Amino acid sequence: MTNAAVSTASPAALPALIVLGLDDGGKAHASWFGEAETDVAEKAAGMMGMAAVRASTDELRDLAGKLPQGRVFASGKAFVPFVKAATFDMIADHLPKSYVWPVRAAKPAVEKIKPGKRASGTGAPESGPRRPEPHWPTDWEKIEVGSLVLATEGAFQGWFEAQVVKISPEGLYTLRWRDWLDVPVFTRRLIHIALLHPEHTD
C-alpha cells in the first residue's frame, strides 16, 4: 500500500488538520495530517464527502493525538480509519454550526447474483470464481486465502481488518484492506499479521 501513497507524513509530524466523516453505514472515521499535507488532505476530504478542521487549539490538538495518522494516496483519496464515536462527536462539535456535511456520491445499484455466478461486462451473470467469503482463523497456521486478519501501517497507526488475497511460497501474504477497497493491495510477513478474537462479529 505504501507504494501508492503520496503522503510524506512521519510519526514525528505534528497534527495540523483533522479529517472526519461518516461512512455509508454510519460508522465514524477520523485521522490527522501534518502541515505539509493539509492541502491534499482537504481535497481528499471533499472527494470523500468528509469534513476537515484545523487543529488550531489545544483541545483539537489533544483530540488529534487520540487519532491515527492519515495517509493520502495517488488516487486522491485518504486513509481515514474508524474511531470511537465519542471522540468523533467531540471533534465534530468544533465544526461551524452552519456546516453542512458534503453529499456522498451515490453508489450504483448492484444486482444480486446467485452463488457461483459473477456479473459479466453486459450485466448478465456468468460462471466463474468468486471472491472468497471472509473467515476468522483461530491460529496462524489456519490463515489462508479469504482469511480476515489485522494489519497495520506502522507504529501508532492502529490495526485494521484486512483480507488475505494471496499467499506466496516465500511466506509473503498479499492483503487488501477490508474497508478501503480502492487502496492497492500490500504484502506482510506472518510476524506482521495479527488475529481477530475468535468471537469477533461485525
Query: Rounded to whole angstroms, how far apart are CA atoms 188 and 150?
Result: 11
- Residues in the chain predicted with pLDDT less than 70, given as ranges, are 1-12, 101-134, 155-157, 181-182, 198-202
Of 20, 26, 83, nearest to 55 by C-alpha is 20
Using one digit for the tens of pLDDT, what is the confidence trace for 40-74?
999 988 888 889 999 999 999 999 999 988 888 87
Query: Rounded to whole angstroms, how far apart are CA atoms 27 and 194?
Result: 23
Per-residue confidence (pLDDT) for residue 133, from 0 to 100: 53
Per-residue confidence (pLDDT) for residue 201, from 0 to 100: 58
Per-residue confidence (pLDDT) for residue 202, from 0 to 100: 55
Cell of 42: 482537504
Amino acid at 25: G
Q: Which secondary structure element, helix H or strand E, spans residue 58, and what is its range?
A: helix 58-64
**In terms of DSSP bridges, do strands 78-79 and 71-72 run parallel, antiparallel, or are they unpaired?**
antiparallel
**Domain 140-192 fold:** SH3 type barrels. (2.30.30)
Q: Where are the domains of the chain?
A: 2-92, 140-192
Using one digit for the tens of pLDDT, what is the confidence trace for 91-109?
999 988 877 766 544 444 4
